[in-house]
């Protein structure tokens, strides 16, 4: 093909794409003049051809790109991949390899017309031996610079392999996308931010494979599984659908496997996971090794080691396309070497589902265990299926526990209540302690979530406590386990209702050095939240990190992991540790765990961080995506918080209409949220209202909320409210803020204390120090407001030098937010009237008094009068000094 598309004429030339630095590295290698070129190595669909084409597009006119492509058909023919070039040669040139090489060399030089030649060989692993030799000789002889793409090096032919071994050919391995690359690719390709849930679902399903990712995304958008609203994408109520294009791709790859490899692959796809020793009894180890080398299967380091398909979407699709007869045959092979006691271990709930699909009778014990495993893994649909497979002769309570748990996890409280009512009618006699405890805790959970009058979860837990107190001593272990669960339920309910003193009292005797069980870990995380809210932020951070470290040693349900991680993230945001929160989010996002182990706070966490750092465009898109996601799926009742943060971000950006609509949405009734979530929602709501011009009302409301929280000993939220009121209000707030900040530990409290001191002493230097510290910690909102205070203090003191310094700091922070109104608003806070602001901005832009008068439709004398006031209030003596105070070009054009 002469020449390949290049120099920016491709259809994607202007669209940003992931791995741009890699493309730049490829271009640099091709144009450096050293070595023979570069080979890109990666799995099918890893993006090798895409990277190569983007690099080709960046080559200049002094390059001719010649493209050849290997294939399974051409690999069986001599010079098969080069046939498109050899067609231009005389037949006499094909009699001997040397003559072929000479003919190709002459042909390429003639076509190049003096340009340098880049030979792009796609699918180099499918070259026949003679084509591989010609490519290597052309490269070694410096007739061409080689750009090759292959699945693996051993199959590219000995001659090309030799160039790499001799360090003449650079090798670049393309692994799958990590999460950040996946999110960026989706954003670029589909023109809008994807919610965390949607992006992680596509990442997990595709395994980071670029081809799978795009196929999946297109299919989900077409099916309506992934939905677009307000320019962002989110996952609807259904799971990722494994149909269409992605299914065809997987089936094609399955057909390329050998018979033995396909047997192993299909069996693992259906079973979920199989013990390594069991699989070795029915499969050829060489087939297993081949699949593992191609990273199609993985082996865990558990005891015993388990083997499973590496990519979950591949496993799901393969399992769905295996014919029933074939599935039954594979099942017979497995059960022939599998003991019934191992049925659940072999694939977990997936293996049990396979057995049911094959028509096998599954014992009630295995089905019940599978339901528990499915609930633990946040798969309520599977849990309900297993419960339904157990006939009515089995004990009703264990089934009801799993059924209610599944219904609660999808917010189907009505169905959960029906199951419990049915159980109340059927159950007779005293229940075992463990079962009765589990039922009481489930009822308390439903009552906690209910808005119906008369529900009292505290009374439910008191009833449980009374029975446990009356239990005989000989039942020590069972009672001890029940009491541990009760303590957790009491702590969670108290935190949900904002009774943090009760949380601390209930958990005061717990040994935080012994966190070896799920109830202890979750209870400790609730205590961590209570410590932070009560003002002991430093101790809360220590305990929170201890809890996170301990989770690595305990097998936890998805729900427990969600709660622990969500509380720690909330702690970081509450204490304004934004940089640390960003690192925590990045580490957690990048893990391969399912989204069910993260939770709703992770949807908006990065958006909150971006908002405070002044990256409003990123913040608003992330928050809008998270908000829509939470409106679709919100088991933790966080949609209100997401809406309030969105409103604040929109207000900061000057999008007043959007912010007002979002604030209106907050008035709509919704699912009751936890107390701390409600307080943060209120904080962002009032902050948004203040940005929209309702400053006086907002300051009064913020102060009232701070007083209320202080009275209930919720000192950290109180400090959040009061610091906002102080930053927006007058200096009289300084003393009150100083008093409250002294009762709270941690970085944010120290920041508030410094702000309070600067306000109390009217010290612009102290206020600028607080501003600088806040900006360094990632809190540009706090820094901006502190800088405005510094400007006001310096202006009142008539200190021209301090005023210049403060104004520059303020302008820099205002510019960071990029709001069209920030430039004018910063001047207004320096005691200029709106009209004086307008004149000042135009004058600083270099506009003459006469021109300003024409633009504003006033007299020249009026302009001169305004300028006199501006110079006096800002302590400047000329237009040049005024220009140093405000940024003129953008503001002038805004007024235009």
For the stretch 501-554, pLDDT in tens is: 999 999 998 888 899 999 999 999 999 999 999 999 999 999 999 999 999 999
| Mean pLDDT to the nearest integer, 610-627 | 94
Query: What are the pLDDT digits (tens) for 94-128?
Result: 778 888 898 889 889 988 898 999 999 999 999 99
For 722-744, how does the pLDDT look when each residue is reduced to its tens digit (9 = 90+)?
999 999 887 778 899 999 999 99
Tens digits of residue pLDDT in 580-616: 999 999 999 887 777 778 888 999 999 999 999 999 9
Average pLDDT over residues 800-829: 69
**Has residue 896 got a pLDDT over 80?**
no
- Asked whether residue 364 carries a pLDDT value surpassing 90, the answer given is no
The whole-number pLDDT of residue 823 equals: 45
Where are the chain's structural domains? 20-174, 179-241, 247-430, 834-896
CB atoms within 10 A of CB 213: 26
Closest to 845 measured CA to CA, from 895, 810, 795: 895
Predicted confidence band at 10 (pLDDT cuts at 50, 70, 90)? very low
Q: CA-to-CA distance for 643 and 190, rounded, in angstroms?
A: 24
Higher pLDDT pick, 13 / 178: 178
Q: What percent of the chain has pLDDT over 90?
A: 54
CA distance 233 to 188: 12
52 has pLDDT over 90: yes
Which among 97, 84, 160 has a CA at the least distance from the CA of 124? 160
Mean pLDDT of all residues belonging to the chain: 87
Q: What is the CATH number of domain 834-896?
A: 1.10.10.10
256 pLDDT exceeds 90? no
The pLDDT, as a whole number, for residue 389 is 84
> What is the per-residue pLDDT for 342?
54
* pLDDT on residue 818: 65
Residue 209: which pLDDT band, with cuts at 50, 70 and 90? Answer: confident
Number of neighbouring beta carbons within 10 Å of residue 130: 18
The pLDDT value recorded for residue 515 is: 92
pLDDT, residue 635, reads 84
Which region, left, alpha or beta, applies to residue 37 given φ > 0 means left and ψ of -120 to 50 means alpha? left
Q: Which of 297-311, 395-409, 467-481 has the lowest mean pLDDT?
A: 467-481
Output the six-digit token pair for 854: 């024409």
Predicted local distance difference test score (pLDDT) of residue 681: 97
The mean pLDDT value for 173-201 works out to 93
Please report the pLDDT score of residue 186 as a whole number: 95
Please tell me the predicted confidence (pLDDT) of residue 529. Answer: 97
For the ranges 342-356, 713-727, 877-891, the maximum mean pLDDT occurs at 713-727
Please give the Cα distance from 633 to 478 (Å, whole number): 36
Alpha carbon of 195 to those of 219, 621, 644, 689: distances in Å? 17, 9, 17, 26
Residue 305 has pLDDT above 70, yes or no: yes
Q: What distance in Å separates the CA atoms of residue 287 and residue 298, rounded to the nearest whole number?
A: 13
Which of 430-444, 555-569, 829-843 has the largest mean confidence? 555-569
User: Does residue 233 surpass a pLDDT of 90?
Assistant: yes
Can you tell me the distance from the alpha carbon of 39 to that of 124, in angstroms, rounded to the nearest whole number? Answer: 9
449-472, pLDDT tens digit by residue? 888 888 899 999 999 999 888 888
The b-or-e profile of 596-632 (16+ CB within 10 A means b, else e) is: bbbbbbbbbbbbbbbbbbbbbebbbbbbbbbbbbbeb
Give the pLDDT band (50/70/90) at residue 792. Answer: confident
Q: Which of 347-361, 379-393, 566-580 has the highest mean pLDDT?
A: 566-580
Q: Structure pTM?
A: 0.84
Residue 262 has pLDDT above 90, yes or no: yes
- Among 199-203, 390-394, 799-803, top mean pLDDT goes to 199-203
pLDDT higher than 80, residue 326 = yes
695 neighbors 728 (Cβ within 8 angstroms): yes
Question: Per CATH, the architecture of 20-174 is what?
Answer: 3-Layer(aba) Sandwich (3.40)
Token reading at 103: 């003919």
- What is the pLDDT, as a whole number, of residue 427? 55
Say whether the peptide bond before residue 304 is cis (omega within 30 degrees of 0). yes
SS3 150: strand
Those residues whose C-beta lies under 8 Å from the C-beta of residue 495, and which sit 6 or more positions away, are: 503, 526, 529, 530, 674, 675, 676
Angle at 614 between CA 231 and CA 644, to 5 degrees: 60
- Residue 4 has a pLDDT of 44
Under the banding of pLDDT at 50, 70 and 90, the label for residue 394 is low
Query: What is the per-residue pLDDT for 859?
Result: 92
Please report the DSSP string for 282-334 in residue order. Answer: TS-HHHHHHHHHTTSEEE--SSS-EEEES-HHHHHHHHHHS-HHHHHHHHHHH
Q: What is the mean pLDDT of residues 839-860?
A: 89
């Amino acid at each position: 093909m002469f020449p390949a598309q290049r120099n920016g004429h491709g259809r994607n030339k202007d669209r940003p794409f992931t791995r741009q630095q890699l493309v730049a590295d490829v271009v640099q290698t091709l144009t450096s003049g050293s070595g023979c070129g570069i080979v890109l190595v990666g799995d099918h669909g890893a993006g090798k051809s895409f990277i190569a084409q983007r690099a080709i597009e960046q080559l200049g006119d002094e390059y001719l790109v010649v493209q050849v492509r290997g294939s399974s058909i051409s690999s069986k023919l001599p010079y098969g991949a080069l046939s498109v070039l050899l067609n231009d040669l005389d037949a006499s040139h094909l009699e001997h390899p040397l003559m072929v090489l000479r003919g190709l060399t002459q042909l390429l030089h003639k076509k190049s017309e003096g340009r340098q030649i880049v030979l792009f060989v796609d699918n180099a692993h499918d070259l026949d031996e003679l084509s591989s030799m010609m490519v290597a000789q052309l490269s070694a002889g410096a007739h061409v610079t080689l750009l090759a793409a292959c699945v693996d090096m051993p199959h590219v032919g000995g001659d090309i392999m030799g160039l790499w071994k001799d360090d003449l050919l650079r090798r670049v391995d393309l692994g799958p996308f990590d999460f950040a690359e996946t999110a960026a690719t989706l954003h670029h390709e589909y023109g809008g931010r994807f919610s965390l849930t949607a992006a992680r679902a596509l990442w997990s399903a595709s395994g980071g494979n670029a081809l799978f990712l795009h196929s999946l995304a297109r299919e989900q958008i077409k099916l309506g599984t992934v939905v677009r609203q307000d320019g962002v994408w989110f996952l609807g109520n259904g799971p990722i659908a494994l149909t269409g294009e992605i299914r065809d791709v997987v089936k094609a790859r399955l057909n390329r496997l050998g018979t033995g490899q396909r047997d192993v692959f299909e069996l693992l796809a259906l079973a979920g996971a199989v013990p390594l020793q069991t699989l070795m009894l029915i499969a050829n180890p060489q087939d297993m090794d081949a699949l593992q080398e191609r990273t199609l299967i993985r082996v865990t380091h558990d005891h015993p080691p388990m083997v499973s398909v590496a990519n979950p979407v591949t496993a799901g699709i393969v399992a769905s396309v295996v014919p029933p007869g074939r599935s039954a045959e594979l099942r017979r092979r497995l059960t022939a070497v599998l003991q019934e006691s191992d049925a659940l271990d072999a694939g977990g709930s997936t293996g049990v589902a396979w057995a049911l699909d094959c028509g096998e009778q599954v014992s009630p014990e295995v089905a019940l265990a599978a339901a528990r495993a499915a609930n633990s893994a946040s798969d309520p649909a599977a849990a309900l299926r297993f419960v339904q497979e157990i006939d009515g002769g089995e004990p009703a309570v264990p089934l009801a526990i799993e059924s209610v748990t599944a219904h609660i996890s999808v917010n189907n409280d009505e169905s959960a209540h029906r199951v419990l009512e049915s159980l109340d009618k059927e159950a007779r006699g005293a229940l075992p302690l463990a079962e009765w405890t589990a039922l009481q805790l489930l009822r308390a959970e439903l009552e906690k979530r209910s808005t119906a009058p008369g529900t009292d979860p505290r009374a439910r837990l008191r009833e449980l406590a009374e029975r446990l107190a009356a239990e005989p001593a000989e039942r020590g272990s069972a009672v001890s386990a029940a009491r541990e669960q009760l303590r957790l339920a009491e702590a969670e309910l108290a935190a949900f209702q904002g009774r943090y003193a009760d949380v601390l009292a209930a958990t005061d005797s717990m040994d935080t050095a012994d966190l070896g069980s799920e109830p202890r870990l979750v209870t400790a995380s609730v205590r961590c939240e209570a410590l932070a809210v009560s003002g002991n932020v430093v101790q809360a951070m220590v305990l929170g990190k201890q809890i996170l470290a301990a989770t690595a040693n305990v097998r936890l349900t998805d729900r427990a992991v969600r709660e622990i991680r969500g509380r720690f993230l909330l702690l970081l945001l509450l204490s304004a540790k934004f940089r640390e929160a960003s690192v925590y989010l990045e580490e957690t996002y990048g893990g391969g765990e399912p989204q069910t182990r993260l939770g709703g706070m992770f949807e908006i966490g990065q958006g909150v961080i971006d908002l405070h750092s002044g990256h409003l465009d990123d913040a608003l898109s992330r928050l809008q995506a998270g908000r829509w996601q939470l409106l679709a799926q919100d088991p933790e009742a966080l949609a209100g918080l997401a809406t309030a943060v969105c409103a604040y971000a929109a207000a900061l950006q000057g999008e007043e209409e959007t912010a007002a609509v979002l604030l209106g949405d907050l008035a709509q009734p919704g699912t009751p949220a936890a107390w701390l979530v409600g307080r943060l929602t209120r904080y962002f709501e009032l902050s948004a209202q203040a940005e929209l011009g309702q400053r006086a009302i907002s300051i009064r409301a913020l102060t009232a909320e701070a007083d209320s929280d202080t009275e209930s000993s919720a000192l950290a939220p109180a400090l959040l409210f009061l610091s906002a009121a102080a930053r927006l209000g007058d200096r009289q707030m300084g003393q009150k803020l100083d008093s409250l900040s002294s009762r709270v530990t941690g970085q944010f409290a120290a920041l508030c204390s410094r702000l309070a001191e600067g306000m109390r002493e009217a010290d612009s230097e102290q206020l600028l120090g607080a501003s600088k510290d806040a900006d360094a910690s990632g809190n540009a909102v706090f820094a901006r407001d502190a800088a405005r205070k510094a400007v006001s203090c310096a202006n009142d003191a008539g200190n021209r030098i301090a005023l210049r310094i403060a104004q520059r700091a303020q302008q820099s922070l205002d510019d960071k937010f990029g709001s069209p109104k920030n430039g004018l608003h910063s001047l207004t806070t320096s005691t200029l009237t709106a009209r004086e602001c307008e004149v000042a901005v135009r004058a600083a832009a270099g506009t003459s008094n006469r021109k300003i008068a024409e633009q504003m439709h006033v007299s020249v004398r009026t302009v001169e009068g305004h300028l006199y006031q501006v110079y006096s209030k800002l302590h400047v003596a000329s237009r040049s000094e005024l220009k140093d105070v405000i940024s003129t070009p953008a503001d002038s054009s805004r007024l235009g």
